[in-house]
Structure 1
Amino acid sequence: MPEATLYPLANYTFGVKEAQPEEDPSVHARLKRLQNDFEEHGMRRSVEAVLVVHEHNHPHVLMLQIANAFFKLPGHYIDPGMTEEEGLKAILNERLGPEDGVGDMEWEIGECLSTWWRPSFEQYMYPYVPAHITKPTERKQLFVVHLPPHKVLTVPRNMKLLAVPLFELYDNAARYGPQLSAIPHLLSRYDFNYEK
């Protein structure tokens, strides 16, 4: 069984930086951009980070909250030609690194926890490629990112970084969606060491 060391939420300092507005004003606009990108570059590759801390010896996942309602993991799509690890490090530095971009932080990218596929230009993603799909439009991979004992995370002003406990995510697709509510299952293979 793989092991992961978790540090208390209180070990981390949270700063604020300039807002990073979403690229698209609506889901429809985002899917339209996905279609345009697919025609130009082919399948989009996205990566997201699963950052785990602990509070009272229970794992919590760090998630971004947008507009007091929408939850997402830190991540984005990566440019063609970049590896998933390079892309995720760049995204984490942009989302949670220092505002001036000077002194990008070191991120320890762990294993891929899951892969999700978008079969067409619709909102739904699946943890498999449906049998009738030969060219999915997007592949999203979730990676464990191991945090050091202490770190300063700088969050865009228009977002909140929340520590969501696994018991809140578990079996709660109605609030968090199928990808985020699957995280407790995906992390169940780890033996967590709770440090102080």
Structure 2
Amino acid sequence: MVSPVVNTYPLTNYTFGMKEPKMEKDTSVADRLARMKVQEHNHPHVLLLQIGNTFCKLPGGRLKPGENEIEGLKRKLCSKLAVNSPTFQPNWQIGECVAIWWRPNFETVMYPYCPPHITKPKECKKLFIVHLSEREYFAVPKNLKLLAVPLFELYDNVQRYGPVISTIPQQLSRFHFNMVRQ
């Protein structure tokens, strides 16, 4: 079996900027932004948004009623990471779904399966691969911080990243990462 290939590029190829704050519904964190500072060492990284000093989440969010999940993800990525300009819109390349998590009721726990006794779960969270082009410009709301976290830091780190994000390395283990150097 041939593993799917995901092209990755050096972090130095990407440019970061700021845009107006995007207030989160569930927090009142003061405006803040820091430039991404991570060691590269050819490790694949996952982009996370940090709220305050501790809580991290994946870029994305809820779909509008009747919205296609791919178009909804592109809309949320633009909202969280793109410049507010009609002339400069990124062409997000959404890859395959790598994980689905379920929240069966109004508790905080999410499961990587829908329990059989649940007929109408309260939430379904899908994780997709987003293929970045060779160069991108990310504009991050001032009240968030964009982190590029190496896969090895996420692995088995439930305490810091939670049960969903900490399993991303396992979800991506079927892919071959090709570091493209130029």
Same fold (TM over 0.5): yes
Aligned to 1:45: none
Q: Which residue does the alignment assign to 1:157?
A: 142
What is residue 5 of structure 2 aligned with on the other side? 3
Distance 2:126 2:151 in 1: 19
1:83-162 matched pairs, under 5 angstroms: 83-162=68-147
Distance 1:173 1:184, change over 3 A: same
What is the 5 A alignment of 1:6-85?
A: 6-25=8-27, 55-85=40-70
Structure 2 match to 1:193: 178
More strand by share: 1
Q: CA deviation at 1:103?
A: 2.9
| Offset of residue 91 of structure 1 | 0.5
Per-residue deviation, residues 119-164 of structure 1 (Å, max 9, x unmatched): 0111111110112111101111000000000010100001111111
Shift of 1:167: 1.1
Q: Which residue of 2 aligns with 1:179?
A: 164
Higher helix share: 1
- One-letter amino acid matched to 2:24: E
Is the Cα–Cα contact under 8 Å of residues 74 and 95 in structure 1 kept in the other structure?
Answer: yes
Aligned-residue offset at 1:23? 1.4
**What is the identity percentage for the equivalent residue pairs of Structure 1 and Structure 2?**
57
CA distance in 2 between partners of 1:168 and 1:56 (Å): 13
TM-score by length of 1: 0.83
Gaps of 5+ in 1: 27-53
- CA shift digits 1:159-190 (9 cap, x unpaired): 11111111111011111111000000011111
Alignment partners' CA distance in 1, 2:51 and 2:13? 24
Q: How many residues align?
A: 169
SS of the residue corresponding to residue 169 of structure 2 reads helix
Q: Distance in 2 between matches of 1:6 and 1:93?
A: 20
Amino acid at match of 1:9: L
Deviant stretches of 4+, over 4 Å: none
The residue identity in structure 2 corresponding to 1:3 is: V
Report the TM-score, using the length of structure 2 for normalisation: 0.89
Contact 1:93-1:101 at 8 Å conserved across structures:
no
* Alignment-derived partner of residue 167 in structure 1: 152
> 1:83 is aligned with what amino acid?
N
SS in 1 for 2:44: strand
Q: What SS does structure 2 have at the residue aligned with 1:76?
A: coil
Gaps of 5+ in 2: 29-38
Return the offset for 1:100.
3.7
The superposition leaves residues 36-85 of structure 1 with CA deviations (integer Å, 9 ceiling, x where unpaired) of xxxxxxxxxxxxxxxxxx92111111111110111111010001111110
